[in-house]
Structure 1
Amino acid sequence: MKRREFLTAAAALSAGPWAQATERARVTPEKWSRLVIVGGAEDRVQDRVILRKFIEYAGGPLARIRLITAASGVPEVVAQSYSAVFSDLGAQNFAVLPLNSREEAMNPQLSADIMQADGIFMSGGDQSRLMQTVFDTPVMEAMHKAFHFNHCCIGGTSAGAAVMSRHMIAQGAAVLRPRKDIVETDIGLGFLPAAVVDQHFSERRRLPRLLSTLAGRPDLLGVGIDEDTALVVERARAIEVFGKGTVTLVDMGQAQTNAGDVAEEAQIEMLGVQLHTLPAGHRYSAVRNVPQNWPAGLRRAIEQLVKPGPVYL
């Protein structure tokens, strides 16, 4: 089955590979499954706040950290850059996974390495290239098992951030206003089952692109992440933002749109859209018994983000 066909079919499934998380993937208070979703262009030279935090969440200097460069057109160059940075930051068990083809993604030793990892970081590049390499392979299954069952910290920047959601933005024009059918979508890794991620958000003025995407899928929460900014999603628990920019959440759950009535590439009317901007340095708990003064819409968005997703097996 092609990935695009799978995306359509998966939305209708109530059981199967994407629906096996529930009881088998409970988190424990000692260690939480975390996603570190980076908007691209993270600092690798000066303070390197995001990569330091990723090492901390993976377990510290002794954590087994593995890098995936399959999204990149120059994987050797990217591998050298990250190897130098992680080494300089004190990561003592860092390695680049040999994963640049579907043939390599079938290697059982590679899957075993992923299952033993404490942290997996995906570089930037082309998200479609990454998914063409790993979709429906033992590597993709191992990543889900590592995250849901072993609480491995999964990080990704730019293209590595785009693949975090199940409904993934593959490409789309940098439009000035929301338009119908100008964004090409595909299926991603599915760690965020009810959201869609866009990166380089403020820098590349991608709000209209994200709105255009959500016009066709108003059930999803839009997540726009600025450069050198990370959204951390603690499964079933909380989200936080760190780095230098902002995370923008776009909620179409109660909005009205005429996207179904207008012609392809026509401007879209969108009424009642909720938008939240979350600056770096803030943490937002999804635990109900923690007193908060947030609007109901923000709480709903946070709960949608931390919602446990199904496991791909």
Structure 2
Amino acid sequence: MKKPIIFLFLLFVNFTAFAQGKLFIIGGGSRPASMIDEMIDEAGVRFEGYAVVLPMSSADTDAAIISGKKQFSDNGISSVTAFNFLMGETPSTSHLDSIRNAKLIFISGGSQIRFMDVVAGTAIERAIWDCYHNGGTIAGTSAGAAVMSEKMITGDQVLYPEADGGFRVIEKGNTKLSNGLGLVKNAIIDQHFVQRSRYNRLITLAIENPSLKCIGIDESTAILVSGNKVKVIGQSQVLVFDGSKGKKREMGEKLGMKDVRLSVYLDGDTFSLK
């Protein structure tokens, strides 16, 4: 009885390992036409297939749908639809099939927690994964970027829940993580990074999660992920903190680490997630 179970497990692992899709992860802010152009071309949706906008991160889903569709229509793409799923609802088979067979899925900005509250553990999440495995491109901006990683930054501070003005400390247990879509297994994604000076929280996560690359994507900038290869696209920078060879030290709640590696990438640069 054990052999079929082991076989199915290995089949699932291999299927996950060889996903054929791409990820186009945008750090938020304005989205230059040239960047959206590249997203469309990488997805292959200019000449075939269609795009789907998922606006559930947004507090104003109607506006997110209009904005999401406009970025495609401004670039000559008319084959775009949108689905605003509600928490707890049972999606129709036709809507799930539309997600599953899309060439490109675009996840709007807003709150990553709001998005995951709707899709986590549901047929919607499985359909997104199916799209990715079928060769589709999964794209997202801001909150739609945060949901890409398995360990997702929520934006909340555990030790200072009432703090205003960002993360002012590098202390253990302060940066709250939750479960994202898990399309990126070996990295944590942060957004609006340079613009909002989110260094402290990503440095903290690099120290606390040395096996993961911690990637900060600035506004009007994106990363294109194909397997383990990453390409930077856009107007600003992508910062990567790597604590894999660092030496961690703690002093009370304070965190320290020697030899944290920092790389700052610009448009056209590439790096590996390995």
Fold match, TM over 0.5?
Answer: yes
What residue identity is the alignment partner of 1:213? Answer: L
Alignment partners' CA distance in 1, 2:94 and 2:15: 28
Q: Distance in 2 between matches of 1:181 and 1:166?
A: 18
Contact 1:42 1:48 in 2 (8 A): no
For 2:70 and 2:193, the matched residues in 1 are separated by 27
Change (3 A) 1:209 1:18: farther
CA contact (8 A) 1:168 1:185 kept: yes
1:249 equivalent in structure 2: 240
Between the aligned partners of 1:281 and 1:178, the Cα distance in structure 2 is 31
The alpha-carbon deviation at position 52 of structure 1 amounts to 1.4
**What is the CA distance between 1:179 and its match in structure 2?**
1.8
| RMSD, aligned α-carbons | 2.3
Distance 2:259 2:201 in 1: 18
Whether the 8 Å contact between 2:207 and 2:256 is mirrored in structure 1 is: no
Inter-partner Cα distance in structure 1 for 2:263 and 2:224: 16
Where do residues 200-219 of structure 1 align in structure 2 (5 Å cutoff)?
200-219=192-211
1:42/1:50 contact within 8 Å kept: no
Q: Is the contact made by 2:27 and 2:222 (CA closer than 8 Å) also made in structure 1?
A: yes
Match of 2:270 in 1: 283
| Pair 108,170 (structure 1): closer, same or farther in 2 beyond 3 Å | same
Structure 1 residues 68 and 254 mapped into 2: Cα distance closer, same or farther (>3 Å)? same
Q: 1:73 aligns with which of 41, 55, 59?
A: 59
Contact 2:53 2:81 in 1 (8 A): yes
Kindly report which structure 2 residues correspond to 1:40-189, keeping only aligned pairs within 5 A, or say none: 40-43=28-31, 47-61=32-46, 62-104=48-90, 106-148=91-133, 150-172=134-156, 174-189=166-181
Distance 1:303 1:247 in 2: 13
After TM superposition, the structure 1 stretch with the greater mean CA deviation from structure 2, 77-86 or 194-203, is: 77-86
> Which residue of structure 2 aligns with residue 3 of structure 1?
none
Letter of the aligned partner of 2:83 in structure 1? L
Contact 1:167 1:185 in 2 (8 A): yes
User: Number of residue pairs matched?
Assistant: 260
8 A Cα contact 2:242 2:262, kept in partner: yes
1:204 Cα shift? 0.6
Aligned to 1:130, the other structure's residue is in SS state helix
Does the aligned pair in 2 maintain the 1:247–1:278 contact within 8 Å? Answer: yes
Q: How many percent identity over aligned positions? A: 28
- Over residues 194-246 of structure 1, what are the superposed CA-to-partner deviations in whole Å (9 max), with x where a residue is unaligned? 1111100001111111111233222211010000100111114x211111011
Alignment pair present for 1:262 and 2:234: no
Contact 1:229 1:243 in 2 (8 A): yes
- Higher fraction of strand: 2
C-alpha contact 2:102 2:131 (8 A) present in aligned 1? yes
Quote the Cα distance in structure 2 between the aligned partners of 1:269 and 1:144: 37
Q: Structure 1 unaligned runs (5+)?
A: 1-13, 285-301, 305-313
What SS is found at the alignment partner of 1:143?
Answer: helix
**What is the match of residue 160 of structure 2?**
none
What's the counterpart of residue 162 of structure 2? none
Correspondences of 1:230-241 after superposition (within 5 Å): 230-236=222-228, 238-241=229-232
Q: Which amino acid aligns with 1:87?
A: S
TM-aligned CA distance change 1:81 to 1:159, over 3 Å: same
Unmatched 5+ residue regions in structure 2? 1-5, 158-165
Secondary structure at the aligned position of 1:233 is classed as strand
Q: Which amino acid aligns with 1:57?
A: E
Per-residue deviation at 1:272? 1.1
3-state SS of 2:255 partner: coil
Which has the higher mean CA deviation after the structures are superposed, 172-181 or 153-162?
Answer: 172-181
Contact 2:187-2:215 at 8 Å conserved across structures: yes
Q: Secondary structure at the match of 1:258?
A: strand
CA contact (8 A) 2:187 2:273 kept: no
Question: What is the TM-score when the length of structure 1 is the normalising length?
Answer: 0.77
2:215 is aligned, of 183, 203, 223, to: 223
**SS of 2:204's equivalent?**
helix
Cα pair distance change 1:15/1:75, threshold 3 Å: farther
CA deviation vs aligned residue, 1:138-162 (integer Å, no higher than 9, x gap): 11111111112x1100001000000
Mapped to 1, the partners of 2:120 and 2:226 lie a distance apart of 24
